Amino acid sequence: MSNHKILGNRRGMTGLETAIILVAFVITAAAFAFVVLNMGFLTAEKAQSVISSGMSEASSALLVDSGVIGQFGSTGGDQADIDLTKLTFYIKLSQGHEPIDLDDSKLVATYTNARCHGELYDSNGTIMTIQGVNSDGDSLCEVGEKFKVTIDFSQLDNATGVDPVQASMDDVYAHPYEEFRIELRPSAGAVLTIERQLPAIYTTIMTLE
């Protein structure tokens, strides 16, 4: 009789130990699963952040609104020497981008033609001016706002940062049938590039397609 009781007690202890071990395994598995899920969520969040940042940097934060207007005039002693003297266009913020600061400390603008290359905005404020059309008065280009950009090529010379191949003021002007490039480099987002080839000049104001 006593032997039966002893065996019964042993069976009870064995079942309790098995239950404890099972509970320990379940708790350990739950903790491990929590760690794995937590790491997965963090990795997915990081990947989403990287993708979002990459798309933001790859797409242009600024867009040209409507056409690019060129103003032409005589740039030398020969009245037949008619070149691009001024450029006007409007810019706005791309959809999905944060506001862009257009101040000269945040935005870099460059000009390139076949004979010279240099900065427009940081060198001299009279070369390139940016004015808000329907902005709230600050230099931030925000959703729904437009800014007018005017570039006066007659203000370009060697002293303002443009580096012509030949030291001649005529080198900074784009001539008919030549290409020129304007690049606006904001602090975030891809570069806004305006590249045009001048047609035959038949009037002082023309839209450059």
Q: How many domains does the chain have?
A: 2
How far, in Å, CA of 181 to CA of 191, rounded?
A: 12
Q: What is the rounded average pLDDT of the residues 172-185? A: 89
Residue 167's pLDDT is what?
A: 44
Asked if 51 and 145 touch (Cβ cutoff 8 Å), the reply is no
Q: Quick one: 34 and 128 in the same domain?
A: no
Q: Quick one: 109 and 178 in the same domain?
A: yes
**Residue 51 predicted with pLDDT over 70:** no
Q: What is the mean pLDDT of the chain?
A: 76
CA of residue 75 relative to chain centroid, distance: 35
Q: Within 10 A of 112 (CB to CB), how many other CB atoms are there?
A: 16
How far, in Å, CA of 57 to CA of 73, rounded?
A: 38
Task: Give me 200's structure tokens.
Answer: 């035959």
SS3 call for 66: strand
Q: Quick one: 52 and 72 in the same domain?
A: no
Query: pLDDT band at residue 59, thresholds of 50, 70 and 90?
Result: low
Maximum average pLDDT range among 77-91, 120-134, 150-164: 77-91
Half-sphere exposure at residue 146, Cβ-oriented, CA atoms within 13 angstroms: 8
Q: Which of 58, 76, 94 is the last residue of a domain?
A: 58
* CA distances, 148 to each of 38, 70, 89, 171 (Å): 49, 14, 6, 26
Residue 15's pLDDT is what?
A: 64
Query: pLDDT band at residue 188, thresholds of 50, 70 and 90?
Result: confident
For the chain, count helices (H), then strands (E). Answer: 1, 11
How far, in Å, CA of 109 to CA of 11, rounded?
A: 85
Full domain range(s) for residue 185: 62-208
205 contacts: CB under 8 Å, gap ≥ 6: 69, 70, 71, 72
Residue 119's pLDDT is what?
A: 81
Q: What is the rounded average pLDDT of the residues 170-195? A: 86
Q: What is the rounded average pLDDT of the residues 177-196? A: 88
Q: Quick one: 52 and 75 in the same domain?
A: no
DSSP state of 172: G
Q: Quick one: 18 and 49 in the same domain?
A: yes
Q: Quick one: 14 and 91 in the same domain?
A: no
Q: Quick one: 54 and 156 in the same domain?
A: no
Pick the more confident residue, 106 or 16: 106
